[in-house]
Amino acid sequence: MKGFLGIDVGSVSINIVIIDTEGEVIDKIYLRTKGQPIDVVQRGMRELSKKVPDDLEIAGVGTTGSGRNLIGVVVGADTVKNEITAHAVASSHIVPDVQTVLEIGGQDSKITILRNGIVVDFAMNTVCAAGTGSFLDQQASRLGVPIEEFGDLALKSENKVRIAGRCSVFAESDMIHKQQMGHSLEDIIAGLCEALVRNYLNNVGQGKEILAPVVFQGGVAANVGIKKAFEEALETEVVIPTHYNVMGAIGAALLAKDKVTSKEVETNFKGWQITELEYTPTSFECEGCSNLCEVIEMEMDGELISRWGYKCNKWDIV
């Protein structure tokens, strides 16, 4: 049996999926990055390798997310693709007539507009991370509510309060103020969900034609409070795919499948044994000019395999 591996290396989580030749998910794993992408990917793959059927042969690997190049080198990826494209590919595979994809992840949020299965427009938060998963995480722990229950609490609200959602720092002080005034936790959380959606639509969604079907994915899609706030604001049903939190990885796997199948090439996958190899990244500051670039080197079992982080060509590996 053939399978395709997709790895999404995000700022907050690392997601790995295996899909079959039909694009159906065979297995998936969702782990926290914790600033150690290589270790976490190795750990995730070790766990997956124990669960997969013995006759499964990995015929292609794709990586995406902000660590796509790093992990691409480690696993021997066939495709290394940006997460905007990967997410769009996955949503149109699962909901073929999708016209709008809302995606909120750990530190970024984006909107992708598709028409007839083709991406025609997208936007991504540029200089502000207000309203992304990290902020929700932080607020949930400040309020002493497990993040998993955050959205359910919002649904219990009967009289949501208005929270200023423009900036996460001010949103936080506004929430504290509303708590001091004596508003209930449910009402405040519902107000926050609404504020984040308002901010998202004004900021990332500005000037975009949002048409149904609308798909909502990314880690934050687990939050039913945000889903409901989106449905109210957009006055349409919002679809959350079953594998909403690993859509980037599914997209990466689909892209690898397409490439390997259409070009009829062998995969570059280095095999499950990469979980046993030792990858050592090291960094140094280049003092060649005033840019003081942070150069990162990657060694595999003592052998230099890649280098990046510099602006000129000085450190190219020939």
169 scored as a contact of another protein (CB under 8 A): no
Measured from the CB atom, is 129 or 145 closer to another protein?
129
Query: What is the Cα–Cα distance from 83 to 109, expressed in whole angstroms?
Result: 11
296 scored as a contact of another protein (CB under 8 A): no
Query: What is the Cα–Cα distance from 244 to 197, expressed in whole angstroms?
Result: 18
Interface residue with another protein among 25, 119, 147, 164 (CB under 8 A) is 119
Asked if residues 252 and 7 have their Cβ atoms less than 8 Å apart, the reply is: yes
Phi/psi of residue 59, nearest 5 degrees? -100, -5
Interface residue with another protein among 290, 302, 303, 317 (CB under 8 A) is 290
On the 0-12 / 13-18 / 19+ scale of CB atoms within 10 A, 315 is: middle
242 scored as a contact of another protein (CB under 8 A): no
Phi/psi of residue 306, nearest 5 degrees? -160, 160
Interface residue with another protein among 34, 51, 57, 82 (CB under 8 A) is 82
Measured from the CB atom, is 180 or 290 closer to another protein?
290
- Locate 183 and state its tokens: 């508003």
Interface residue with another protein among 84, 111, 136, 254 (CB under 8 A) is 84
Asked if residues 40 and 14 have their Cβ atoms less than 8 Å apart, the reply is: yes
Q: How far is the CB of 289 from another protein (least distance, A)?
A: 7
Interface residue with another protein among 85, 91, 203, 245 (CB under 8 A) is 85
Q: Please list every residue from 202 through 241 that binds another protein, using CB under 8 A.
A: 207
Could you give the 3-state DSSP secondary structure of residue 144? coil
The count of residues interacting with another protein (CB under 8 A) is 24
Interface residue with another protein among 34, 51, 120, 141 (CB under 8 A) is 120
Interface residue with another protein among 24, 53, 54, 127 (CB under 8 A) is 127
Asked if residues 27 and 18 have their Cβ atoms less than 8 Å apart, the reply is: yes
Among 79, 78, 77, 86, smallest CA distance to 105 is for 86
Contact set with another protein (CB under 8 A):
66, 81-85, 108, 118-122, 124, 126-127, 207, 289-292, 311-313, 316
